[in-house]
Chains A and B, each alone.
Chain A
């Protein structure tokens, strides 16, 4: 049994008397009584001492009570200040009259007739006065008749005293007789103690491992950023180059270059954040215009109608990172290109637990000689598997800038098949105007949805307006669900 030094000192202090009040022990051990009780409780748990707690009550006068101690209760003092009768007006001049007159009437000592106060003759002291007399003599009393009245009048208060008697047990005695090492315990080893080798002989304070430590909070990456970084790592592992770009895009790059017709509903102001700014169109924009109007040099008919340059110049907050992909391809038309981007995109949506006006999108593109639809499915399977979604299936999909298009679905335990992103091969109407001669596989997904699944969130806003407690308590590793 490893005792603390204080427990040992307690046993030594008990050696002579065997059983003693904690206050006495405290004096003996030169410690506070509370500390001694704490040591005694520890030793008590080990069966070395018994601790008896006695609770006692006594009554002591309050400040007001003390003021009356010499001369008696106010009503007695006032009663004795006059003979048989006195006009009320005169009596009221007595400094204690305010308190006393009420009590005198209540106790039936006086009667008041026509403004004159008259003694009734029944003025013997009651039990309260007797108790007050005892209290005045001794300064504190245990209990008794009349004390309750004094407490009610605020002249005395009850005091609870707790006393502890500590007694050594036979086991304690046994231990004591075996001899105890009473050297001071060491908490933190000093440099000198380590260097000199003194540590070998020191009694080291033992710590209680069942007690929880102080809770520390490390600085850390946001749980959502960790998922983003994991996706980036996956794409690096698959040989992809990272893209980055501006939040503000012209409609030309956000829509027109992607063969999204100018009257497409996504291009209306209720779906997209438009800005007052305009950007000039890039050189060669006419090829995009021709594609919209009649399909350019390809087998396409185009959308028909007249394409408006003014509409294409309007700036928007990018609605997808595909606007970056097409610009990357336009400036890197030589195969192979494997690139990805994770960035914030914007939709004009009212914010609620499952809809946000901004969220992260991941997008990957592969342009190479001879790539085809089966390769697209191959990349998707590989990517989703690395993200922890082993079961993936595909359904036909529709996106204005890809053909063929598919909608990947992943199997999530408890939810079943969940649609997660979209994919396809860029239409020739998208690639031809920029001289991109090979097929481009493309896929994208909203990663806030993945984060919701992985972090078990009900409210998407938690990702962006986070509760500090949630970030602190979400583990850095092993959060995958």
Chain B
């Protein structure tokens, strides 16, 4: 999530209120206060509201929420007369460009830092790590329009930001820190995106790095903004958010002609919403007038359109408004979530236990009756524990996760017994006897099913104890079963049995093989059992499995 630093002095000036009011009320527009410091507060905003990733954006929202300034913020855009061409050769590489000219900026060190922070937060939230959108700001007075966005040979060289010498773009991917971080976004292309001015001087190698030539400093008065990317809508979201934030700070915005089109317009989108739909979603009986008033506090333009509709103007920076309900959520926030009366609906329904947890509950009561203690081991395990330690072959349908995070958790368990053995190992220093059981999910071939397993460790644990427990469990679960000699290598030959139901082996019990005991570092005999619960009468097929 994006954490935004809000300096009090700047914020107070922009918002027209004191810091305490802001700290108290900002959570109610959807934010978490992270840290309150001497001169600033760090606030985390949700990923759907990148328009709040700057002090200017927060001040704009707070002025409305606190009733200081309501309704749609007006932004005027004059044409700059500057044109920006886009090379058709970028089609498969990075085809979309958004641009604007921002004049009369007043950039002290704090303002530059805030602009860079906004850029980084947008790279993350809108740009998806610069792949979808990358943003560049340039000192307009250092360059000469018109500008060209081109697909350049990879060998083109220029001086990148923070370097003193010229490098080729290929060298930058290997040697510049930003090049190394973002090389994966472009290295597969034959040509690289490049922005140059009328004199063929380089502004930027998007999405990697700008040229040193156009570095923005506290002396910068006029800015050229470029946003390039693979998604037109996202590119324009970034342009609109940056332009309106700087306009809030006092700059003036001018449009640029990109491929014959004037941009940005910073114009709101219109949406006509239903009063009844809003009321029924929120459970309030609101009039069109009330809805409009609430929406204006959230900085929408809103006027009733007859009795049943409201004409809403959505600010250009509100990229989260996809659907009418998104507008209605803002009605709820302006109304105040704390002001809603919580009620329960009157419809009567009947509870219904699912058979799978019901069977697990039956296993629990039987095993507890036998003196066994329940364990709830992880479902992620590894082949050493599941197979090698148990002297067993890997189950053919074992699911391996593609990018495991540790060697301990590489596969989904296909069997519970090895995890109980691991549990005995972890509890070796605890008083004996220990009788442990578990009931839970196992997965094979993508199919989830349930299993019960139990282990008993003490100096006299033997085949008879395992057989007696397996017999009780089967009888209590209404399983009619027979037993045949087992060939499971985890158990001792001559002291192991398979539980057979309708000709299918559904379980195993007996004395654990001493070599397996050794693998789990255990020193006493273990009597054990495992039972596939799909054999239990009434076990349902799971929904959602193919």
Which A residues form the contact surface with B (CB < 8 A)?
A: 217-222, 224-225, 229, 232, 235-249, 253, 263, 265, 269-270, 273-277, 279-280, 295, 298-305, 315, 317, 323-324, 327-328, 331, 335-336, 338, 344, 346, 348-351, 357-358, 366, 368-375, 377-382, 393-398, 400, 403-406, 425, 427-429, 439, 463-469, 471-472
Which single residue of chain A is at the shortest CB-CB distance from B128?
Answer: A263
Contact of A240 among B233, B332, B341, B349 (CB under 8 A): B349
For the complex, give the distance between the alpha carbons of A243 and B355 in Å.
9
Interface string of B303-343 (1 = CB under 8 A from A): 00000000000000000001111101100110001101111
A247 touches B448 (CB 8 A): yes
Question: Hey, which chain B residues are within 8 Å of A263, CB to CB?
Answer: 128, 132
Distance of A303 Cα from B30 Cα, bound (Å): 22
Determine the distance from Cα of A240 to Cα of B350 in the docked complex, in whole angstroms: 7
Q: Is the CB of A371 within 8 A of B543?
A: no
| Interface pair A368/B347, CB less than 8 Å apart | yes
Q: How far is the CA of A331 from the CA of B541 in the complex (A)?
A: 15
Residue from B324, B332, B338, B351 having most chain A Cβ neighbours under 10 A: B351
Complex CA distance for A304 and B29, rounded to whole angstroms: 27
Measured between beta carbons, the chain A residues less than 8 angstroms from B412 are: 247-248, 317
9 pairs of residues in contact across A and B, judged by CB atoms under 8 Å: A240-B349, A242-B357, A246-B544, A300-B323, A349-B405, A372-B282, A403-B326, A403-B328, A468-B436
B interface residues, Cβ below 8 angstroms from A: 27-30, 46-49, 128, 132, 231-233, 271, 273, 280-284, 322-326, 328-329, 332-333, 337-338, 340-345, 347-354, 356-357, 361, 364, 367-380, 399-403, 405-406, 408-409, 412, 423, 426-427, 430-431, 434-436, 441, 443, 446-448, 542-546
- In the docked arrangement, what's the CA distance between A17 and B343, Å? 89
20 further contact pairs, Cβ within 8 A, besides A246-B544, A350-B405, A372-B282: A238-B351, A242-B354, A248-B448, A274-B402, A302-B322, A315-B446, A323-B544, A366-B345, A369-B347, A371-B345, A372-B281, A374-B283, A374-B341, A375-B345, A395-B30, A396-B337, A398-B48, A464-B377, A465-B423, A466-B375
Inter-subunit contact A219/B370 (CB<8 Å): yes
CB distance from A417 to the nearest CB of B (A): 10
Known contacts A273-B401, A274-B402, A336-B347; is A428 also within 8 Å of B356 by CB? no
Which residues of A have CB within 8 Å of B27?
395
Cα–Cα distance between A397 and B329 once the two chains are bound (Å): 10
In the bound complex, what is the Cα–Cα distance between A441 and B299 (angstroms)? 28
Contacts of B376 in A (CB 8 A): 222, 224-225, 463-464, 466
Q: How many angstroms between the C-alpha atoms of A403 and B329 in the bound complex?
A: 6
**How far apart are the CA atoms of A299 and B412 in the complex, in Å?**
42
By a CB distance below 8 angstroms, the chain B residues around A224 are: 376
B543: chain A residues at CB < 8 Å are: 245, 324, 327-328, 331
Q: How far does the Cβ of A269 sit from chain B's closest Cβ, in whole Å?
A: 5
> With the chains together, A269 CA to B401 CA distance in Å?
10
**A398 — which chain B residues lie within 8 A by C-beta?**
30, 46-49
| Most B CB within 10 A of own CB, among A275, A298, A373 | A373
Question: Are the CB atoms of A244 and B357 closer together than 8 Å?
Answer: yes
A299 to B309, CA, bound (A): 14
Is A244 touching B345 in the complex (CB atoms < 8 A)?
no
CA distance A481 to B49 in the complex (A): 38
Q: Which 5 A-B residue pairs are closest in the complex by CB-CB distance?
A: A372-B283, A374-B283, A398-B46, A377-B342, A396-B30
Q: What A residues does B48 contact at CB under 8 A?
A: 398, 400
A54 to chain B, nearest CB (A): 40
Contact in complex: B443, A247 (CB < 8 Å): yes
Q: In the assembly, what is the distance between CA of A369 and CA of B399, in Å?
A: 42
Asked if residues B372 and A219 are in contact (CB atoms below 8 Å), the reply is yes
Q: Is the CB of B379 within 8 A of A344?
A: yes
For B347, the chain A residues whose CB sits under 8 A away are: 335-336, 368-369
B277 to chain A, nearest CB (A): 9
- Whether B378 pairs with A403 at a CB distance below 8 angstroms is no
Q: List the A residue with the shortest CB-CB distance to B124.
A: A265
Q: Which of B48, B361, B368, B546 has the most CB of A within 10 A?
A: B546
Query: A378 near B337 (CB under 8 angstroms)?
Result: no
CB pair B323 A246 closer than 8 Å: no
Partner of B342 from A229, A357, A381 at Cβ < 8 Å = A381
Known contacts: A219-B373, A246-B542, A374-B343. The answer to whether A405 contacts B329 by CB under 8 A is yes
Known A-B contacts A221-B368, A242-B353; A276 and B323 likewise in contact (beta carbons under 8 Å) = no
